Amino acid sequence: MADTLAPQARSERMARIKGKDTKPELWLRRLVHGMGFRYRLQAKWDVLHLGRSWADKCQPRVESQEQVIREARDHLRNNPPPEDNSMISA
């Protein structure tokens, strides 16, 4: 399929798309790094360190959908999201 936009217009549109280093991503990377986990930015989803000892301790959770919903509601009731939207980049 041929591009319907001129190269300059396509360049301007693509320049507005921010896919990396957003505020939520930087916050999460600092949090994960502070917890002692290391990762590479070249590949996506590289925080899965299956060889780590803590990964062996993770057990699959067998819960019903109602239990998961109840747990999520309880968590959000006890830990409400921030009101100021400071983690959302425009």
pLDDT digits (tens, 9 = 90+) for 34-85: 888 777 666 555 455 555 555 556 667 777 888 888 888 898 888 877 777 6
Domain around 48: 19-78
Instruction: Report the pLDDT value the prediction gives residue 50, as an integer from 0 to 100.
Output: 55
In a domain, 7, yes or no: no
In a domain, 86, yes or no: no
In a domain, 11, yes or no: no
In a domain, 83, yes or no: no
In a domain, 8, yes or no: no
- Is the pTM higher than 0.75? no
Count the domains in the chain: 1
3-state helix, strand, coil in the chain (%, to 5): 45, 0, 55
In a domain, 50, yes or no: yes
In a domain, 85, yes or no: no
Which DSSP string corresponds to 74-86?
A: HHHHHSPPPSS-T
CA-nearest of 69, 86, 80 to 26 is: 86
